Amino acid sequence: MQIKVEEKDEMIMRLVHYFVTEEDYSPIVVRGVKDEIWLQNTSGPYKIIRINANYIHNKEQYDFDIMKLNNVMRQIKRKTLSWSMNALNILLNVNSDVKIEENKNIESVYLDNIKEISEPPIINEFPEINEKLLKEDGISLMIDVTNDINKKTEKENKKFEKLFSPKKIVATNAIIVINVIAFFLTLLLSNMNLTASKLVEYGGLFAPYIKNMELYRLIAAGFLHVSIFHLLFNMYALYILGTQVENFVGKTKFLIIYFYSMITASLMSAIIHPSVVSVGASGAIFGLLGALLYFGYYYRLYLGSILKNQIIPLIVINLLFGMIMPGVDNAAHIGGLIGGLFIALALGVEQNNEEKFKVNGIIVSLIFVAFLFYTLFFIR
């Protein structure tokens, strides 16, 4: 018995196959819709592609359909924390009397048959679509579409399993050990009395000494702590955040993020508080928060709720806490946070192959640290 596939269904299968396997779009579930396919790629020329097989018989129904599309786009925009959202709206069943109109952030096109894909606007953004559409018909098309999408999904799942699976944590634990050793060593050397002058002697951050080219203090200060409570609080935060960041990027990139953030935190602290002695790992720890902010935003399809409900509130609460509590160096926290965000952009993520993002990250990271050095040495 020969299985016959309707022409509209064949169009949908060919389109979905192309966008998923060739353009890295992922299917998304939109509640309350029927006979529609929704695809999403936050890095694509269209953030949303919607394929609608429902019959649109007059202008009023078309306007209602656009309103519904706008509403769903707003929901997706909030969920993914996107600044902007545009969509390609592919209509497969429209009355000939209905005029397809221009809409803000929505590009609509009516396809009566697969040959019309060569017409604008799709050809402008996806110039290879004609060559890469499957040519099979009927049951062969169904089998090939199913197999290819399954292979693509399996490949993507392996990528994210590699990214998010637990790994052996080395660098974070090593930094914690160094901090603990440094604290007890300085405690013994100071006869159990860690005063500000003693902390300066051991490498604490003090702007006049930095200007005297004692640049080692930009890092040394990050391994000194005032008290056992100061140490325990920072090491607990370092363990929680460091484990996450190192798990995402590996020990080498983790160390780059940590020490770059430590330097930017120290510089910002020296600029804002030129006569205050500052020590502690919290500036570098805020750098890890900045890195998590970037990773959470890049993987917002998977980490969107964590970004919105955990990472951002944690940053805000800690910055507010720093404003309220005396003796907390919020300048270092802000410097570390910005530094961690910029250097994470420079290092990139494994699934992002666009070099322009890394180049932009390197440029802003260099500009930021150069600006801080210039401000400290030539303005303050």
Which of residues 129 and 57 earns the better pLDDT score? 57
Q: Residue 303: its pLDDT value, please?
A: 66
Domain with residue 281: its CATH number is 1.20.1540.10
pTM, rounded to two decimals: 0.78
Indicate whether 145 and 267 sit together in one domain. Answer: no
- pLDDT tens for residues 174-193? 999 999 999 999 999 999 99
Q: Which two tokens stand for residue 114?
A: 């697969």
- Among 162, 178, 199, 169, CA closest to 279: 199
**pLDDT-derived band at 2, boundaries 50, 70, 90:** very low
Question: Is pLDDT above 50 for 197?
Answer: yes
Angstrom distance (rounded) from CA 72 to CA 105: 13
Indicate whether 286 and 175 sit together in one domain. Answer: yes
Q: Which range is most confident: 51-65, 139-153, 231-245? A: 231-245
Which of residues 173 and 312 earns the better pLDDT score? 173
- Give the range among 45-49, 189-193, 331-335, 349-353 with minimum mean pLDDT: 349-353
- Give me the mean pLDDT over the 242-269 stretch: 95
Angstrom distance (rounded) from CA 186 to CA 188: 5
Final residue belonging to a domain, choices 164, 194, 218: 164
Q: Which two tokens stand for residue 325?
A: 């509590």
Q: Which two tokens stand for residue 228?
A: 């056992």
Question: Is pLDDT above 90 for 362?
Answer: yes
Which residue, chain included where needed, has tokens 């979905």? 16
- pLDDT tens for residues 97-155? 888 888 888 988 888 776 666 555 566 788 788 778 777 777 777 777 778 777 777 77
As a whole-number percent, the residues of the chain with pLDDT over 90 amount to 43
Q: What are residue 110's DSSP bridge partners? A: 91
Q: Residue 31: its pLDDT value, please?
A: 63
Question: Is pLDDT above 70 for 3?
Answer: no
Number of domains in the chain: 2
Which residue, chain included where needed, has tokens 């935060």? 237
- Give me the mean pLDDT over the 357-376 stretch: 94
Question: Is pLDDT above 60 for 18?
Answer: yes
Indicate whether 189 and 308 sit together in one domain. Answer: yes
Q: Which two tokens stand for residue 339?
A: 């530094």
Radius of gyration from C-alpha coordinates of the chain: 27
Indicate whether 179 and 284 sit together in one domain. Answer: yes
192: left (phi > 0), else alpha (psi -120 to 50), else beta?
left
- Give the range among 46-55, 73-82, 277-286 with minimum mean pLDDT: 73-82
Q: Which two tokens stand for residue 216?
A: 């080692």
Indicate whether 285 and 372 sit together in one domain. Answer: yes
Q: Residue 231: its pLDDT value, please?
A: 96
Contact assessment for residue 360 and residue 342, using Cβ atoms and an 8 Å cutoff: no
Estimate to the nearest angstrom the gap between the alpha carbon of 31 and the chain centroid: 26
- Give the range among 162-166, 221-225, 375-379 with minimum mean pLDDT: 162-166
Catalytic positions: 282, 333
SS3 for the chain, per residue? CCCCCCHHHHHHHHHHHHHHHCCCCEECCCCCCCCEEEEECCCCCCCEEEEECCCECCHHHHHHHHHHHHHHHHHHHHHHCCCCCCEEEEECCECCCCCCCCECCEEEEECCCHHHHHCCCHHHHCCCHHHHCCCCCHHHHHHHHHHHHHHHHHHHHHHHHHHHCCCCCCHHHHHHHHHHHHHHHHHHHCCCCCCHHHHHHCCCECHHHHHCCCCCHHHHHHHCCCCHHHHHHHHHHHHHHHHHHHHHHCHHHHHHHHHHHHHHHHHHHHHHCCCCCECCCHHHHHHHHHHHHHHHHHCHHHHHHHHHHHHHHHHHHHHHHHHHCCCCCHHHHHHHHHHHHHHHHHHCCCCCCCHHHHHHHHHHHHHHHHHHHHHHHHHC
Domain range for 361:
171-379
- pLDDT tens for residues 339-350? 999 999 999 876
Indicate whether 56 and 205 sit together in one domain. Answer: no
- Among 70, 33, 69, CA closest to 54: 33
Final residue belonging to a domain, choices 109, 137, 164: 164
Contact assessment for residue 187 and residue 194, using Cβ atoms and an 8 Å cutoff: yes
Does a structural domain hold residue 306? yes
Indicate whether 177 and 251 sit together in one domain. Answer: yes
Does a structural domain hold residue 337? yes
User: How wide is the angle at C-alpha 240 spanned by C-alphas 226 and 184, nearest 5°?
Assistant: 30
Final residue belonging to a domain, choices 164, 191, 219: 164
**pLDDT-derived band at 238, boundaries 50, 70, 90:** very high
- Give me the mean pLDDT over the 317-321 stretch: 87
Q: Residue 24: its pLDDT value, please?
A: 85
Angstrom distance (rounded) from CA 128 to CA 23: 10
Contact assessment for residue 101 and residue 108, using Cβ atoms and an 8 Å cutoff: yes
Angstrom distance (rounded) from CA 243 to CA 235: 12
Q: Which range is most confident: 63-77, 97-111, 148-162, 268-282? A: 268-282
Specify the amino acid at residue 239.
Y
**φ and ψ at residue 100, rounded to 5 degrees:** -80, 115
| Average pLDDT score, the chain | 86
Indicate whether 58 and 133 sit together in one domain. Answer: yes
Does a structural domain hold residue 2? no
Does a structural domain hold residue 243? yes
Q: Which two tokens stand for residue 45?
A: 């020329």
Which of residues 287 and 304 earns the better pLDDT score? 287
Question: Is pLDDT above 70 for 5?
Answer: no
Does a structural domain hold residue 275? yes
